[in-house]
Structure 1
Amino acid sequence: MNQQQLIQKIENSLYKGFIDQNKPVSSQFKPKLLTNKHHESVLSTLLQELKTCKTFYFSVAFITEGGLATLKTMLYDLKQKGIKGRILTSTFLNFNQPKMFKELLKLDNVEVRLTGEKGFHAKGYIFEHKNYYSLIVGSSNLTDSALKANYEWNVFLTSMENGEIINHFKNQFENAWDVAIPLTEEWIADYKQIHELQPFVKSASLNALELDTKYLTNSLSDALSIKPNKMQSVALDQLKELRATGAKKGLIISATGTGKTYLSAFDVRNFAPQKMLFIVHREQILKKAMQDYRKILGGYDDDFGILSGNSKNVNAKYLFATIQTVSKDNYLQQFAKDQFDYILIDEVHKAGADSYLKVINYFTPKFLLGMTATPERTDNFNIYELFDYNIAYEIRLQAALEEDMLCPFHYFGVLDYEKDGELINEAAELRKLVSEERVRHIIEKINYYGYSGDRVKGLMFCSQKDETYELSAALNLAGLKTIALTGDSSQEEREVAIRKLETGELQYILTVDIFNEGIDIPFLNQIVMLRQTQSSIIFIQQLGRGLRIHDSKEFVTIIDFIGNYKNNYLIPIALSGDQSMNKDNVRRKTVNTDYISGVSTINFEEIAKKRIFDAINNTNLSTMKILKDAYTEVKNRLGKIPSLNNFIEQNSLDPEVIIGYSDNYYNFLLKMKEDIPTLNDYEQSVLTMVSKEFLNGKRIHEIILIESLLEDEYLPKADYIQKLRDFGTYVDEETIKSVETIFSLQFFVQNDIKKYGFKPIIEIDNRNYKFNEEVQESIRDSNFRRYIEDIIKCAYIKNEKYDKAKALTLYEKYSRRDACRLLNWPHDDSSTIYGYRAKYNTCPIFVTYHKKDEIETSQAYGDEFISPELFRWFTRNRLTLDSNEVKTILSYKESGMKIYLFTKKDDGEGSDFYYLGEVDIAEDSARNELMPDGKGKELPVVTMNLVLEQPVQYDIYHYLVEE
């Protein structure tokens, strides 16, 4: 947009912000309040402004390592683009830590100075863009809590370069900057001495700052008696309720680090057994569990005993046993079958092994409790069945973070070492994995992204044994203190290494195959992943090693080296917990990571993010194996054949993925080898139509009609219209007619008509709707009816994300065929739309933003965003301003024609496009131009600028435009 247009938009935005809130203006520049509530954090806005700025100036009194960590990936990406900035900060109240200042020195593209201004308490962020400035000013310092979690008040403003306000802030900054001193290593050394002599006083004055309550509570925790946390209290109540039903078994599913051991000890205290047996798979865990139980249960030392390879205290009231020992006949037979009132099994996902089943089948306790963070299995053993499908309590990673039960984490997806355009991949030779260049690259990244605490205490997960040993040796030669541990390492070697890591004799343990689970190292402050992600389960297990809360750290740094791996698509799946296998969901979870709660953040370097998108595009997420594994997991959990709706309830497969694979759920169950009642061919055709056309919930009108006819044989048209109004959706004659053409099959092409059974499933008789006779007969059968009702439930849930008042919802995805139906076209003309089609007084435009390199030159249109609200669009070639087709489009206002813009990043996204809204054509923007035909000649084409009703949402905009 030109300068005058920009000025007009900012003027309008200021009018809305300061004179009349009802003035309709672009949301890009309007003043707003940032509070960290309602899905718009200070951090997200700050990152958005950084991403598009030419330079930036921060004036902040307080900075924490966690706050700095939230920006490190963005600042690295800006460095790659040559973008620099300045930060002005202070030593006010000695709050800023010496180590934080060292972290600031790592930022090569950021100049830092320290003001000597007494009482410096400023909090402002200035961003210089191409033609304007933006400003965030208010209560947020550069701390992770202030940027993402605390309830803050910050004003966001936009200004032209000559605006008085922005110049006032800039002048204040420059004046303070000119007399401030540069940050240097020498200054930090001096400050460290002063800081240690005059520590920051933790007093009631903290209430004036945005510090977390942990600063006040940590020192008190040891003096307080141990009480159940919020999660444990809820779980204990549910265990009590479960036993009240007569249940003798229960399963606890709880994320690593949420206190499963304490929870079980509290429950044992409530249960008060005469004798208890606690079973684990490793002696190291056993000793720690016994210590925790002593804290909760109290009593005499003789009450607690261990049964393992090194200890045989079988007479203890509370016996802690390794499965390897207790499962041996000579020990198992020593106990009566009812010897223990209460038996607990930790890491119970291993209980499918013969040793566990042998013990479980031998004993007859009054109650058996299983505990795990990851009940999912790939060997088809049903853990849920083993516990009579009694899930007493479940809390996964996302919920645990929301409840502040885990240590916050900052995840950084970084690009692995690349040489001559070749990235580390699954087949990389050992020499590449341990080359001097890769070692240097690893050290640069782990130093840049850092850690919380006085010294690094890290765990590196490698891809193979040889790499583990040789990489450890190479890192040691480079000056680090590391050790390699594998499955060949003894228990004693592991314990010694962990002690050395805690005391500082080691900085890193490098490992493969071990430490994924069943190990408690709460002081870990950095996790480094140097291998491809094999499964989302293992990914979360490894990330979870650092999530235990410990006094020595405020957060844990996760550094994931992303190579050219086929499984990169698993990273957003694992981090988000989204198991839908819906590619669009996975892409969105990569682009927008706001789903992570609290102060935790997920950050991808831009190039690393592209590797994930490549993997998503190149991977089939609906293979038989993926679908069958997910199906088996849900079936095992429920103990029955699941419905489509059950997959939604269990946060598993997206039903649309299932339907895309098999047309209808009946076919899918047959492919899963289920023995189910037979449907005839026509019933399958009807089921396919209802599944493929309506389950997605993009238009609820058809679903409401089907649901109504399940209740009554006839539905008057007037009653149908009233039902739509009661639901709150839009109603007009064109949409009603469109619904009728769908059910009459008149809308569909011949192939679909054949697939859907050749005849209308709903007929109109004297302004009454009714199912045809065959469908009426079929729905009397409860089996067929259940399939239809299941689809209806799913469609209502799916419809919740769509705007009830409009046919199309911003930023949702639609195919050309969807557009034909939702814009009420009488026929499916999607095969003739190509890039666009002006028809029935509508003109949907479909743009693939990044064309394939091999596309013909004559088809390589230069469609592009000029700004988030302005799109330069090309018509088909061989057209001019005098062409009838172009005249029709340009006269859209006179004819009342609506123009809609749909865009996708590339062909790897499939057939669906993001809906970006209704557009206007910028006045006087249409031009005759020429484009090469690839044969040395030029073809005429018309270009014009499309003005969007709203600027494209930040995350989607950058996803679309970036290479």
Structure 2
Amino acid sequence: MANKFNEAGIESIALTSESKKEERDNAKERLVKGEIKFIFVVDIYNEGVDIPEINTILFLRPTESLTVFLQQLGRGLRLHDKKECLTVLDFVGQSHKNYNFEDKFRALIGKTNKPVKDYIENGFLTLPKGCYIQLEKEAKEYILRNIKSASNTKANLLSKLRSFKNDTDLELTLENFLKYHNLSLVDFYGKTKDRSFSRMCVIAEQRDDFTEENEVEITKKLYNLLFVNSRRFIEFVIGLIKNNDDISNVEFTNEESLMLNMMYYIFYNDAPEKIGLTSIKEGINKLLNNKVMMNEACEILKYNFDHLNFVDKKVNLGFDCPLDLHCDYSTDVIMAAFGYYNEEKKPAFREGVKYFEDKGIDIFFITLNKSDKDFSPSTLYEDYAINERLFHWQTQSKTSTESATGKRYINHLKTGNKIALFVREYKTRDGLTSPFTYLGTCEYRSHSGNKPISFIWELNEEIPPSMINKANKTIII
């Protein structure tokens, strides 16, 4: 490349990891002075090099590592007085049919609710101001084919499992497999609810076969574990599985019994009596007898635990409740934690609010970005964060200021009734039903309107940074 550029009258040099330090330093100085226009490098300049004057980057071959890709891109992102912009020319290489373009574009776009292929097909409309990505027609078609073929289908994952030992020196575990292939739990388990790491390793002839009575039923419920991120609950469940003891005669504290409730309703759809069980303990014992599948459940929970990036803590509600601040929970698990779903019954629940009179608490289930498909016109409420503490929330359309419910909300500080918020951005995430993030309790500040009533609540704990951008109406994209 350097020779071709020189032949074209563009002063250039080539450097590799074998080039001497003096040669590298001299090249950097000549580039800054404008004596040369391009430095073509191999396996260097990924990090630790600061040349703010760089205003053009050429990617000439696929970069397998997402980290290296971002480091290389970062060489040109430093600001400089004489630099108006950074031009990035990515020449699509075809040297590796499994090269993953999707990860690279996701890194550039950031987290959004649309798949990468939508942006490639329709344009990159949500990039920061001053940023632009243009794809040639053939490059666009090639990348779309690549994304489709590199998608995490069962067949592709089985192929990766078969080649894992040859590709790496690592033990084939769920953690190692996800890390090596830069996959999330959702990437691996998908939306079909018919995958387990254990069974797929057997199909890929990487593990011995096994037979367990409830493998199919447990496999369908593994997706319920993918978003579990409460340290306390994870440690409780892993402890039960690792002990591998019959729990029929174990005495649990009230809080532990509620966590047992939560675990039960992660794996079962109805109360014990409705599905031929005598108790929740019997249901848990039945799960524990499936050692391979329960070990996989442990692997999922341990993966979640090891990747936690926030601090959770107990919320003082005045009664036992094993839900922790800023953790994610499904509706079923929340109801089990409050004892509403229990050993005797699992009452129907489809409302966005629930009042527990015996506990003196109202809980609100809030979906921030509502679609006409999922919500009727009468339930498209205006719910959003005003700032880190204040939250605007609308009641159901039938609730008036004169109703018992409206008065209970308005006067809750006088009566000692508590209000707790559970919030999620979308109804679904990655094709699966989204969990709710527990924002803790809040206090009345003001209200306006009628049927529905608009409330402003002040949270007792700040909304976490990871959610404030999603919950603040003024910056939702």
With the length of structure 1 as denominator, give the TM-score of the two structures.
0.33
2: distance between equivalents of 1:960 and 1:909?
Answer: 15
Alignment of 1:497-536 (within 5 A): 501=31, 504-505=34-35, 517-518=42-43, 524=51, 525-528=53-56
Number of residues of Structure 1 aligned to a counterpart in Structure 2: 396
Q: Which amino acid aligns with 1:846?
A: F
Give 5+ residue unaligned stretches, structure 2.
1-12, 90-99, 116-126, 133-146, 316-321
Alignment of 1:526-565 (within 5 A): 526-528=54-56, 537=65, 540-541=68-69, 543-544=71-72, 547=75, 559=86
Deviations 1:543-577 (A, max 9, x none): 427759xxxx9xx9994779xxx97874564899x
Q: Which amino acid aligns with 2:448?
A: R
1: distance between equivalents of 2:427 and 2:294?
Answer: 38
Deviations 1:695-718 (A, max 9, x none): 8343236415523542x4457534
Q: Which amino acid aligns with 2:334?
A: A
Is it true that 1:623 corresponds to 2:155 in the alignment? Answer: no
* Corresponding position of 2:341: 826
Deviations 1:916-947 (A, max 9, x none): 3311122xx23343xxxxxxxxxx31122111
Which one of the candidate residues 919, 929, 943 is aligned to 2:454?
A: 943
* Corresponding position of 1:884: 404
Structure of larger gyration radius:
1
Deviations 1:578-628 (A, max 9, x none): xxxx989x9xxxxxxxxxxxxxxxxx836969xxxxxxxxx9997328856
Is it true that 1:836 corresponds to 2:347 in the alignment? Answer: no
2: distance between equivalents of 1:630 and 1:516?
Answer: 31
Q: Which secondary structure state, in structure 2, belongs to the residue aligned with residue 289 of structure 1?
A: coil
**Contact 2:385–2:471 (CA under 8 A) maintained in structure 1:** no
Q: Give, in angstroms, the shift of residue 833 of structure 1.
A: 4.0
1: distance between equivalents of 2:214 and 2:260?
Answer: 20
Is it true that 1:848 corresponds to 2:359 in the alignment? Answer: no
Is it true that 1:916 corresponds to 2:439 in the alignment? Answer: yes
> 1:703 and 1:895, CA in 2 relative to 1: closer, same or farther beyond 3 A?
farther
* Corresponding position of 2:237: 703
**Contact 1:849–1:863 (CA under 8 A) maintained in structure 2:** yes
Q: Give, in angstroms, the shift of residue 812 of structure 1.
A: 3.9
**Contact 1:846–1:913 (CA under 8 A) maintained in structure 2:** yes
2: distance between equivalents of 1:608 and 1:753?
Answer: 56
Deviations 1:202-252 (A, max 9, x none): xxxxxxxxxxxxxxxxxxxxxxxxxxxxxxxxxxxxxxxxxxxxxxxxxxx
> 1:882 and 1:558, CA in 2 relative to 1: closer, same or farther beyond 3 A?
same
Give 5+ residue unaligned stretches, structure 1.
1-282, 296-406, 408-456, 458-497, 510-514, 577-581, 587-603, 610-618, 722-732, 930-939
2: distance between equivalents of 1:825 and 1:572?
Answer: 41
2: distance between equivalents of 1:824 and 1:644?
Answer: 33
Q: Which secondary structure state, in structure 1, belongs to the residue aligned with residue 65 of structure 2?
A: helix
* Corresponding position of 1:817: 332
**Contact 2:265–2:336 (CA under 8 A) maintained in structure 1:** no
Q: Give, in angstroms, the shift of residue 860 of structure 1.
A: 3.4
2: distance between equivalents of 1:505 and 1:853?
Answer: 60
Q: Which amino acid aligns with 2:444?
A: I
Q: RMSD over aligned Cα, in angstroms?
A: 5.6
Q: Give, in angstroms, the shift of residue 775 of structure 1.
A: 4.8
Q: Give, in angstroms, the shift of residue 877 of structure 1.
A: 0.6
Deviations 1:5-47 (A, max 9, x none): xxxxxxxxxxxxxxxxxxxxxxxxxxxxxxxxxxxxxxxxxxx
> 1:557 and 1:523, CA in 2 relative to 1: closer, same or farther beyond 3 A?
farther
Q: Which amino acid aligns with 2:440?
A: G
> 1:912 and 1:686, CA in 2 relative to 1: closer, same or farther beyond 3 A?
closer
Q: Give, in angstroms, the shift of residue 880 of structure 1.
A: 0.8
Q: Which amino acid aligns with 2:367?
A: T
**Contact 1:537–1:574 (CA under 8 A) maintained in structure 2:** no
Structure scoring higher RCO (CA < 8 A, sep ≥ 6) equals 2
1: distance between equivalents of 2:266 and 2:300?
Answer: 23
Q: Which secondary structure state, in structure 2, belongs to the residue aligned with residue 736 of structure 1?
A: helix
Q: Which secondary structure state, in structure 1, belongs to the residue aligned with residue 335 of structure 2?
A: helix
Is it true that 1:763 corresponds to 2:246 in the alignment? Answer: no
Deviations 1:679-737 (A, max 9, x none): 33424434655773488343236415523542x4457534x55xxxxxxxxxxx2x333
2: distance between equivalents of 1:534 and 1:830?
Answer: 55
> 1:837 and 1:289, CA in 2 relative to 1: closer, same or farther beyond 3 A?
same
1: distance between equivalents of 2:425 and 2:365?
Answer: 11
Q: Which secondary structure state, in structure 2, belongs to the residue aligned with residue 867 of structure 1?
A: coil
* Corresponding position of 2:96: none
Which one of the candidate residues 171, 174, 181 is aligned to 1:644?
A: 174
**Contact 1:536–1:571 (CA under 8 A) maintained in structure 2:** no
2: distance between equivalents of 1:560 and 1:537?
Answer: 21
2: distance between equivalents of 1:569 and 1:829?
Answer: 42
Q: Which amino acid aligns with 1:623?
A: N
1: distance between equivalents of 2:160 and 2:384?
Answer: 40
Which one of the candidate residues 597, 605, 610 is aligned to 2:128?
A: 605
Which one of the candidate residues 289, 293, 308 is aligned to 2:18?
A: 289
* Corresponding position of 2:447: 926
* Corresponding position of 2:469: 958
Q: Give, in angstroms, the shift of residue 845 of structure 1.
A: 2.0
> 1:743 and 1:561, CA in 2 relative to 1: closer, same or farther beyond 3 A?
same
1: distance between equivalents of 2:84 and 2:382?
Answer: 42
Is it true that 1:717 corresponds to 2:253 in the alignment? Answer: no
* Corresponding position of 1:67: none
Is it true that 1:872 corresponds to 2:402 in the alignment? Answer: no
2: distance between equivalents of 1:858 and 1:802?
Answer: 37
* Corresponding position of 1:86: none
With the length of structure 2 as denominator, give the TM-score of the two structures.
0.60
2: distance between equivalents of 1:672 and 1:884?
Answer: 60
2: distance between equivalents of 1:927 and 1:606?
Answer: 37
> 1:748 and 1:893, CA in 2 relative to 1: closer, same or farther beyond 3 A?
farther
Q: Which amino acid aligns with 2:234?
A: I
**Contact 1:517–1:542 (CA under 8 A) maintained in structure 2:** no
2: distance between equivalents of 1:853 and 1:881?
Answer: 27
Q: Give, in angstroms, the shift of residue 876 of structure 1.
A: 0.9
Q: Which secondary structure state, in structure 1, belongs to the residue aligned with residue 453 of structure 2?
A: strand
